Amino acid sequence: MLNFQIHSSNRISQVLRLFFVFILVVGIFLRFNGLDKRVYWLDEVATSFRIAGFTIAEVDQQLYDGKVVDINALQKYQKPNPERSWGDTINSLVVDDAQHPPLYFVMVRFWAEFVGSSPAVIRILSVLISLLIFPCFYWLCIELFNSAVFGWIAIALTSVSLLHLTYAQEAREYSLWIVTILFSSAALLRSIRLKTKLSFGIYGTSIIVGLYTFPLTGIVLLGHGIYLAIIEKFRLTKSLIYFLISASTALLAYIPWIWIILTNTSRVKSTTSWMFVERPLQDLIYFWLVNITHVFVHHSRFRIVFLIIFLTSLYFMYSKVSKHIWLFVLTLTLPTLIIFTLADLVSKSSFSFFPRYLWPFLLGTQIALTCVIGYMITSESNKNWLKKTGMAILIITLIIGFTGSTAKLIQDSKDDQLKLVADTVNKSDSSLLINFISNEENISIGDIGDIFSLSYLIQNKAKLFLFKQPNTPKIPNQFKDIFVFYHIHRYDKANDKEPDLSGIIKQGYQVQPIVLKEGDKTILWKLKLADKQAFNTENYSNP
């Protein structure tokens, strides 16, 4: 399919093959490493709510009742519960997060019941799913470039990518979505090559799986349709007819969940309201420049270099390779870029700021760099510097990715703010941790997620005191140390208010903030009855 000749396109030297296998093994090791070190953050807590089959409203009603409870009481809402069926899992998703289709959550519920529900075990499912990215990417490169070398380059770049590692270790559906994007893209190219009903049937099935994994698969389908229409010169050929049938079938199969989303529009708007925060235009431009290189580099000092490489690769693809290749990359990347940029400009949203929504675009940038490196390495040019340059770009990219990934694993085990909260509370052998929320109708995961994250970090000897404002129940004073934890996630700064501690102060308590980390917002306070000797918080401060 390439306009240029690829030397030994279907063969790869033994040394190079061993090198790629080594990088793959390193990537697999990184994915399984440190799964129990990172804080189980609020989105993952939401996944466990789905596993347990509880809605956030039910958690709010049952827990925030002004009573002292054990830390492990929160685990009832984080693991399979005999009181809750598979139907409750689907219902909790419909009620709380209808914008997230059910496939992954059904899979993770099954996994939790038969394997385990601890954070590390739940994350293992995502890791195992992420391993499917490697064969899918290899297959896509074989279909697109007809060369094993390109497939191995894509695998190597994926193996040590910090962004791939991050989502591979997260108890959310994004690893599965990446798999469906790659699989459906490879299946489309195969279908175009074979022109059979069966091949297009496989493609259509992969789109159904993708839609029931993440709704933005619709953008991938749009890009595929544009690609096929252009290469078929907008003629109603056999391939285009089969594609339209497959796409229509997939969309029809998705109608039940579309109906669920439409009938829960108000809740969807409420739970996604954090996305609709106006950002300055310069921030939008900056983040798209970051997104272009996000899958390769993690540090700003390297971004400009990789931005130049990426723009060069686009020019190279347009001028050197078959139209079928550069058009495929553009139709995979541009729909996401255009749709989200317009959405962010017109509706004042922030889609462009979150990589998890941009995977079609990110994978397209990865394919583009794979194309450039693969061309250099397989070039028959007498200029040996071309191959050396290709290998240099590949090795430098892999080194940057590896250092970023290992640094992340080390950092995850250290200075997360919630870990510092837990360390502070765990120093006491008799502690009460107070947490409260507002008495609003639409409580979200951003209001209660962090207290559940802490439940995995705080020792069982601590107790919780949970209630809803505006009323503040009488605080039990039989504990040696009493802390107040308050941290809600509001991207809208107007609604990100300081906690109202007046009800606590009226009960005769002094409230003193605890500095967990210099420069961070205060989220933890220590209480002391005003008529007792002033207390020293030195032992509760972290450097």
pLDDT tens figures, 289-334: 888 888 888 777 778 888 887 788 778 778 878 899 999 999 999 9
Which of 21, 8, 27 minimizes the C-alpha distance to 147?
8
Q: Are 158 and 181 in contact (CB under 8 A)?
A: no
Output the pLDDT for position 536.
Answer: 44
Arithmetic mean of pLDDT, 349-373:
93
Output the pLDDT for position 313.
Answer: 76
Between these two residues, 530 and 533, which has the higher pLDDT value?
A: 530
Q: Are 432 and 465 in contact (CB under 8 A)?
A: yes
SS3 436: strand
Output the pLDDT for position 67.
Answer: 94
Distance CA 215, CA 204 (A): 15
**Phi and psi at residue 490, in whole multiples of 5°?**
-130, 115
Min mean pLDDT across 96-100, 302-306, 345-349, 508-512 is at: 302-306
Between these two residues, 279 and 198, which has the higher pLDDT value?
A: 198
Q: Is 523 inside any structural domain?
A: yes
What residues have CB less than 8 Å from 6, skipping those under 6 apart? 145, 147, 149, 374, 375, 378, 380
Crossing angle, helix 384-412 and helix 359-378, to 10 degrees? 140
Q: Are 145 and 371 in contact (CB under 8 A)?
A: yes
Q: Is 106 inside any structural domain?
A: yes
Between these two residues, 140 and 1, which has the higher pLDDT value?
A: 140
Arithmetic mean of pLDDT, 386-401:
91
Output the pLDDT for position 186.
Answer: 99
| 1 pLDDT above the threshold of 70 | no
Q: pLDDT-derived band of residue 511, with 50, 70 and 90 as boundaries?
A: very high
| 115 pLDDT above the threshold of 50 | yes
Output the pLDDT for position 315.
Answer: 82
Output the pLDDT for position 538.
Answer: 42
Output the pLDDT for position 5.
Answer: 42
Min mean pLDDT across 74-78, 121-125, 226-230, 321-325 is at: 321-325
Q: Is 46 inside any structural domain?
A: yes
Distance CA 45, CA 22 (A): 35
| 119 pLDDT above the threshold of 70 | yes
Q: Burial code of 327-356, b = ≥16 C-beta within 10 A, e = fewer?
A: bbbbbbbebbbeebeebbeeeebbbbbebb
- Which H or E run contains 481? strand 481-485
| 534 pLDDT above the threshold of 50 | no
For the record, the structure tokens of 46 come out as 């939401």
Distance CA 139, CA 156 (A): 14
User: Is the peptide bond prior to 101 cis by the omega test (within 30 degrees of 0)?
Assistant: no
SS3 487: coil
SS3 145: helix
- Whether the pTM exceeds 0.85: the reply is yes
Q: pLDDT-derived band of residue 509, with 50, 70 and 90 as boundaries?
A: very high
What residues have CB less than 8 Å from 337, skipping those under 6 apart? 288, 361
End-to-end C-alpha distance for the chain, whole angstroms: 58
Q: Is 254 inside any structural domain?
A: no
pLDDT tens figures, 49-73: 999 999 999 999 999 999 999 999 9
Output the pLDDT for position 404.
Answer: 87
Q: pLDDT-derived band of residue 496, with 50, 70 and 90 as boundaries?
A: low
pLDDT tens figures, 141-152: 999 999 999 999
| 346 pLDDT above the threshold of 70 | yes
Between these two residues, 123 and 316, which has the higher pLDDT value?
A: 123
Arithmetic mean of pLDDT, 458-473:
94
pLDDT tens figures, 25-41: 999 999 999 999 999 99
Domain residue limits at 62: 42-117+415-540
| 383 pLDDT above the threshold of 80 | no
Q: Are 165 and 31 in contact (CB under 8 A)?
A: yes
- Total domains in the fold of the chain: 1
Q: pLDDT-derived band of residue 2, with 50, 70 and 90 as boundaries?
A: very low
Q: By percentage, how much of the chain surpasses pLDDT 90? A: 70
Min mean pLDDT across 243-247, 353-357, 471-475, 485-489 is at: 485-489
pLDDT tens figures, 167-222: 999 999 999 999 999 999 999 999 999 999 999 999 999 999 999 999 999 999 99
Output the pLDDT for position 407.
Answer: 84
Helices (H), 379-488: 384-412, 417-426, 445-455
Q: Is 17 inside any structural domain?
A: no
Distance CA 114, CA 32 (A): 20
What's the alpha-carbon Rg for the chain, to the nearest Å? 26
Q: Which residues make beta-bridge pairs with 149?
A: none
For all residues of the chain together, what is the average pLDDT?
90
Q: Is 141 inside any structural domain?
A: no
Q: Is 453 inside any structural domain?
A: yes
Arithmetic mean of pLDDT, 448-474:
95
pLDDT tens figures, 226-277: 999 999 999 999 999 999 999 999 999 999 999 999 999 998 988 888 888 8
